[in-house]
């Protein structure tokens, strides 16, 4: 039996990175990718997830997406620890997705902790735009206003984005689109059961 990295990561991480799978959604390849992602999110064991989270960024981003797809909130604390540490590139994108999929006040507070720490460092370009887009997504679901503290004139986002060119309106729409694609796939899998 292949190990967790061979089974879940090798053919998937590049499509999860930056939400690249969105470019496949106009054809059957995209539907197949998401159907398989949902099935694997339900099938992966906690031991396999831990193996992935202990590895490099490719397994971590994949594990976070699998955790988020299946809304395995028991992993919230581990994701928080890894996200706030931010020791590997790109993995934070998956953590943002998972926290947005969980979508509770606790998840918003993790995103806030990250943004408070890393928006204050304009010299670091990690996953700040993903985190703000995820927080915006949670705000929309919960009808809260966490993002407003970052977006006001003179706020942390303004100073960070002045040194890190990014298109936040695009990023938030794109993030919402990714979440929507996943939600449709999860719903379709539930209907097939």
Query: What is the pLDDT at residue 134?
Result: 98
Question: 0.85 cut: is pTM over it?
Answer: yes
3-state SS assignment for residue 36 = helix
Q: How far apart (Å, rounded) are the C-alpha atoms in residues 32 and 91? A: 23
Place 1 in a pLDDT band, splitting at 50, 70 and 90. Answer: very low
25-61 per-position pLDDT tens digit: 988 999 999 999 999 999 999 999 999 999 999 999 9
Query: What is the pLDDT at residue 56?
Result: 94
Q: What's CA 92's distance to the chain center, in Å? A: 7
Tokens of 64: 């976070």
pLDDT above 60 for 159: yes
Nearest to 86 by CA among 149, 150, 131: 131
pLDDT above 70 for 119: yes
140-154 per-position pLDDT tens digit: 999 999 999 999 999
Place 169 in a pLDDT band, splitting at 50, 70 and 90. Answer: very high
Q: How far apart (Å, rounded) are the C-alpha atoms in residues 27 and 165? A: 32
Query: What is the pLDDT at residue 131?
Result: 98
Query: What is the pLDDT at residue 2?
Result: 55
Place 190 in a pLDDT band, splitting at 50, 70 and 90. Answer: confident
55-97 per-position pLDDT tens digit: 999 999 999 999 999 999 999 999 999 999 998 889 999 999 9
Whether 156 contacts 112, CB under 8 Å = no
Q: What is the mean pLDDT of the chain?
A: 95
Query: What is the pLDDT at residue 191?
Result: 72
Provide CB contacts within 8 A for 13, sequence distance 6+.
58, 59, 61, 62
Phi, psi values for residue 45, rounded to 5°: -90, 165
Query: What is the pLDDT at residue 99?
Result: 98
């Amino acid at each position: 039996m292949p190990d967790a990295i061979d089974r879940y990561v090798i053919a998937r991480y590049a499509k999860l990175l930056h939400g690249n799978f969105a470019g496949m959604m106009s054809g059957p390849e995209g539907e197949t990718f998401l159907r398989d992602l949902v099935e694997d999110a339900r099938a992966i064991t906690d031991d396999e997830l831990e193996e992935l989270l202990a590895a490099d960024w490719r397994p971590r981003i994949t594990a976070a997406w699998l955790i988020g797809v299946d809304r395995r909130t028991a992993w919230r604390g581990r994701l928080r620890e890894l996200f706030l540490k931010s020791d590997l590139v790109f993995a934070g994108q998956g953590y943002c997705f998972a926290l947005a999929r969980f979508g509770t006040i606790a998840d918003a507070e993790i995103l806030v902790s990250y943004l408070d720490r890393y928006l204050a460092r304009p010299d670091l370009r990690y996953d700040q735009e993903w985190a703000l887009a995820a927080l915006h997504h949670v705000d929309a679901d919960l009808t809260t206003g966490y993002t407003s503290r970052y977006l006001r004139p003179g706020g942390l986002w303004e100073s960070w984005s002045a040194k890190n060119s990014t298109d936040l309106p695009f990023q938030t729409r794109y993030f919402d689109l990714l979440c929507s694609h996943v939600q449709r796939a999860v719903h379709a899998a539930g209907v097939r059961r």
